[in-house]
Structure 1
Amino acid sequence: MSAIGAGEDSRQDWDRWWDRFVYWVPWVLLPLSTVLVLAQTGQGPGHRAVALGLTALASAWVLFGHTFAPPARLERLWPAVVYVLGLVALGAVMMAHDIIFLLFAITPFFHAMVLPMPWAFAGVAAASFSLHTSTMGFPGTSTDTPFLQHLGLYAGVIVVQTLAIGGGLVVAQRSAEAHRERAVMVDRLEAALEENAGLHAQLLAQAREAGMLDERQRMAREIHDTLAQGLTGIVTQIQAAQRAGGIDGPALPHVGRALDLARGGLTEARRSVQALRPAQLEDSQLPEALGELTRRWAEESGVRPTLEVTGGRTALSPAIEVSLFRVAQEALTNVAKHANATRVGVTLSYLDDMVLLDIRDDGNGMVSDTANGFGLRSMRQRIRGIGGTVEIESDHGEGTAVSAAVPVIGGAS
Structure 2
Amino acid sequence: MSATADPGQHEWHRLAVGWHIAFAVLAVTTAVLIVLDPPLSGGERVLGVALVGVFAGWYPLAGARLLRAPRSRSGWWYVGVAVALTIAVAAVSPAGTVLLFVLFPQVWAMLPVRQAVLGTTVAVAGIGTVFALRYQDPASVLVSAGLALVCAVGVGLWISRIIDQSAQRARLVAELDATRAELAAVSREAGALAERERIARDIHDTVAQGFTSVLLLLDALEADFTNEELARGYLQRARDTARDNLAEARSLIAAATPPALRSASLPAALQLVVDRIGPDLPGGATLTVEGEPRPLPAELEIVALRAGQEALANVRRHARASRVEVLLQYRSGILALRIGDDGQGFDAEQRPAGFGLAGLRERVTTAGGSVMVRTAPGAGVTVDVELPT
The one-letter amino acid of 2:216's match is Q
Give the 3-state SS of the residue equivalent to 1:118 in structure 2.
helix
- The residue aligned with 1:93 is 88
Q: CA deviation at 1:44?
A: 6.3
Counterpart CA distance in 2 for 1:233 and 1:127 is 104
2:152 is matched with: 165
Query: Could you tell me how far 1:47 is from its partner in structure 2?
Result: 4.4
Kept in 1: contact 2:117–2:153 (CA 8 A): yes
1:111 Cα deviation after fit = 1.6
Superposition RMSD in Å: 4.2
Q: Structure 2: any 5+ residue segments left out of the alignment?
A: 1-7, 251-389
Alpha-carbon deviation of 1:69? 4.2
SS at match of 1:86: helix
Which residue of structure 1 aligns with residue 181 of structure 2?
194
Which residue identity is paired with 2:91? A
Q: Deviations over 1:127-156 (max 9, x none)?
A: 212333444x249x63xx5xxxx43x3333
> Where in structure 2 are the equivalents of 1:79-228 lying within 5 Å?
79-113=74-108, 114-135=110-131, 137-138=132-133, 142=136, 150-151=138-139, 153-228=140-215
CA distance in 2, matches of 1:110, 1:206: 56
Question: What CA distance in whole angstroms lies between the structure 2 residues aligned with 1:80 and 1:118?
Answer: 13
Q: Is the 8 A contact 1:92 1:130 kept in 2?
A: yes
Q: Decide whether aligned partners of structure 1 residues 18 and 138 sit closer, same or farther in structure 2, where only a CA change above 3 A counts.
A: farther
Structure 2 residue matching 1:214: 3-state secondary structure: helix
- Mapped partners of 1:49, 1:62: distance in 2: 20
Inter-CA distance 190–224: structure 2 relative to 1 (3 Å threshold): same
**1:287-298 alignment runs, 5 A limit:** none
Using the TM superposition, give the Cα deviation of residue 268 of structure 1 relative to its aligned residue in structure 2, in angstroms: 6.5
Name stretches of at least 5 consecutive residues in structure 1 with no aligned partner.
1-10, 243-254, 277-413
Alignment partner, residue 29 of structure 2: 32
CA contact (8 A) 2:124 2:148 kept: yes
Percent of aligned pairs with the same amino acid: 16
Distance of aligned partners of 1:35 and 1:12 in 2 relative to their CA distance in 1, 3 Å threshold:
same
Describe the superposition over 1:276-318 as per-residue Cα deviations: whole angstroms up to 9, x where unpaired: 9xxxxxxxxxxxxxxxxxxxxxxxxxxxxxxxxxxxxxxxxxx
Between the aligned partners of 1:68 and 1:189, the Cα distance in structure 2 is: 31
- With normalisation by structure 2, the TM-score equals 0.50
Contact 2:72/2:112, CA 8 A, preserved across alignment: no
Could you tell me how far apart the structure 2 residues matched to 1:70 and 1:91 are? 18
For the 8 Å contact 2:104–2:120, the answer to whether it is kept is yes
Deviations 1:91-118 (A, max 9, x none): 2222222322321244322221122232
**Contact residue 109 and residue 124 of structure 1 kept, 8 A:** yes
Q: Which amino acid aligns with 2:172?
A: M
Alignment of 1:3-402 (within 5 A): 19-39=16-36, 46-69=43-66, 75-77=71-73, 79-113=74-108, 114-135=110-131, 137-138=132-133, 142=136, 150-151=138-139, 153-239=140-226, 241=227
1:214 to partner: Cα distance: 0.7
Decide whether the 8 Å contact of 1:231 with 1:266 is kept in 2: no
Residue 99 of structure 1 aligns to which amino acid in structure 2?
Answer: P
